[in-house]
Structure formats: structure tokens, C-alpha cells
């Protein structure tokens, strides 16, 4: 991970901004109980993923495609040099600090390139797709936007296998859905709806219902259905925790706990995701973490 970079006078440094964003996630990005080297690798991955997301969501619209292309080019340069561990790209060849910060993790953990390219592709998709007709379409998006992160985490802990990757995909898709269901109002304000159109129609919800200050009874019923679907995905992948030990088990249990706590927060808000953004209490996340570690799922 790159060193601290100063911000403009009166502004927080970029590293401080990233740290604040990490603290606001549903799941612990890099638990303090993890070894420092693993925390460093996980934070480097988070910085990359956040950078791609910020380009896709916050950069001037006309610049997004070009910036994402530059990010992809940097990733490809990193991996082209990484084929020979002794060859390190010169700083001028990799313009993105977020990509440069991945170098140590990629080299030492043998992480493949594709998950990073998938994360970039998810943000490209966000530029052209703002509605999803079916749950399968939404799951396809999650395969690009969320599942790659879980696979990278398995590589960071040297625990990757095809079987574990499948379980991780279920957890990550459940986590992504939980985030979407928390942010229904925010996403709608940004012009995006992740609630599948088929589900909305089945529950008698229209797009204009998402512009109201409070969720209608029909929308609450829809959110209860979507929360149940996300929880089932988390439970489907939860046995991954039991296949791991030590710090890898702790890290994955933390992600699972974050997803479960987020869904519990939506339930506690009576599924009214328009009045506020339901956020889980730290105590609930800790309780879910402890339970996942003890049960192994």
C-alpha cells in the first residue's frame, strides 16, 4: 500500500478519506486482530475497489470511461511486469496509486488479474445499465461487482480453491444485495434501481414509489422478500467459515457478520429504506461475528 499522501489545506488526506470510508462499511475491511501484513494487503485491495467505484460513481460523467480505461491499463501493466517478480514497473508506467499499492499483495499472494478487471467492468456496466429486469440479471452484476473481492481475499490468505470460491461468491452476492437494499433511496436519487423490475411488479411497486419519503406497505413487503433472499445467500455460503482456521476464518466471519447485521438493521427499521439508511450497530456486528466463529458458519 502506498504511503500517506497529503490533501489540500483544510482537507483530509486521501488516505484519511479512504480510512473513513472503510470504517463506514457494513463489514470490517481489515480487522485489527489480523496480522499487519494481511491488513495491509486487504486495505490495498479495498483502496483499489473504492477507487474504481469512485470513478464509476463520482467522476465527471464524460470522464468516467476514460478513467476506467486508464485504471485497466495500469492493472495490465502491473501484471505484465509481475510475470517476472524481479521486474517492477517504473512509477511513471503505473499512474494510479491504487494499482501501485497492489504490487506486494499480487506478487506475494499470487493473485490473478481477472478479479481486478471484473471490478472495473462492473463500474463500466454501471455507466450503461441503471435497471435490472430479473434477479438473475442482478446476480450477474454481483459476479462482477462483489464476488471478485471475496476471491481475492481467499488468495490473500492462501486459501483459494474452486469449492471455497463458490461459497465465497454466495456470501459476497448476499453482502452486495444487503448494501443495495440499505441504499435504495440513495441509488434512486443517483438514477439507479437495483430492485429487479419483475420483483417490483410482483409486489405491486412502481418506480415512483421509490421517490416517497416513506416506504409503502407494498414496498416494505418487497424489501422483506429481498432481505430474505439476501440472507439465504449468506447462509448458503456460511459453511466457508468452517473450512478455514486462524486469521482467514476471522476475516471471512467478519464479512459474513457484516452482511447479517446489515439485514437485521433493515428489519429493525421495519423495512422502511426510504426514511433513512439502515445501518447496523457495531454491537450487532460483533455478536454476529462471535456466533459465526463459534458455529463455523
The series of mean pLDDT values per 10 residues for the chain, 297 residues long, is 36 45 50 85 95 96 97 96 50 77 96 98 98 98 98 98 98 98 97 98 98 98 98 98 96 95 98 96 93 96
Where in the chain do CATH 1.10.600.10 domains reside?
131-297
pLDDT of residue 94: 75
**Residue 224 has what pLDDT?**
98
User: Architecture of domain 131-297 in CATH?
Assistant: Orthogonal Bundle (1.10)
Q: What is the pLDDT of residue 163?
A: 98
What pLDDT, on the 0 to 100 scale, is given for residue 82?
62
For 229, the grid coordinates are: 433472499
Task: Please give the model's pTM, rounded to 2 decimal places.
Answer: 0.88
Nearest to 272 by CA among 200, 218, 196, 204: 218
Give the model's pLDDT for residue 6. Answer: 36
What pLDDT, on a 0 to 100 scale, did the predictor assign at position 93? Answer: 64
**Predicted pLDDT at 25:** 53
Amino acid at each position: 500500500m502506498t504511503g500517506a499522501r497529503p490533501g489540500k489545506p483544510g482537507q483530509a488526506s486521501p488516505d484519511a478519506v479512504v480510512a473513513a470510508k472503510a470504517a463506514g462499511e457494513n463489514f470490517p475491511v481489515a480487522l485489527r486482530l489480523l496480522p499487519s501484513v494481511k491488513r495491509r494487503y486487504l486495505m490495498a485491495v479495498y483502496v483499489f475497489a473504492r477507487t474504481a467505484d469512485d470513478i464509476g460513481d463520482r467522476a465527471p460523467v464524460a470522464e468516467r470511461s476514460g478513467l476506467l480505461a486508464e485504471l485497466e491499463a495500469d492493472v495490465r501493466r502491473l501484471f505484465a511486469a509481475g510475470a517476472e517478480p524481479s521486474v517492477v514497473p517504473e512509477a511513471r508506467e503505473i499512474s494510479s496509486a491504487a494499482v501501485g499499492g497492489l504490487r506486494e499483495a499480487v506478487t506475494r499472494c499470487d493473485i490473478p488479474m481477472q478479479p481486478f478487471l471484473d471490478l472495473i467492468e462492473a463500474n463500466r456496466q454501471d455507466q450503461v445499465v441503471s435497471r435490472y429486469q430479473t434477479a438473475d440479471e442482478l446476480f450477474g452484476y454481483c459476479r462482477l461487482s462483489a464476488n471478485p473481492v471475496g476471491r481475492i481475499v481467499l488468495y490473500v490468505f492462501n486459501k483459494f480453491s474452486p469449492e471455497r470460491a463458490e461459497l465465497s461468491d454466495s456470501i459476497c452476492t448476499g453482502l452486495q444485495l444487503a448494501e443495495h437494499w440499505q441504499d435504495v433511496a440513495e441509488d434512486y436519487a443517483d438514477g439507479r434501481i437495483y430492485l429487479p423490475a419483475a420483483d417490483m411488479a410482483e409486489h405491486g411497486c412502481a418506480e415512483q414509489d421509490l421517490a416517497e419519503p416513506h416506504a409503502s406497505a407494498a414496498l416494505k413487503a418487497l424489501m422483506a422478500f429481498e432481505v430474505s433472499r439476501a440472507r439465504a445467500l449468506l447462509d448458503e455460503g456460511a459453511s466457508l467459515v468452517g473450512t478455514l482456521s486462524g486469521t482467514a476464518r476471522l476475516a471471512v466471519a467478519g464479512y459474513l457478520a457484516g452482511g447479517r447485521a446489515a439485514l437485521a438493521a433493515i428489519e429493525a427499521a421495519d423495512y422502511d429504506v426510504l426514511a433513512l439508511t439502515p445501518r447496523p450497530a457495531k454491537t450487532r456486528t460483533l455478536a454476529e461475528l462471535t456466533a459465526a466463529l463459534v458455529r463455523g458458519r
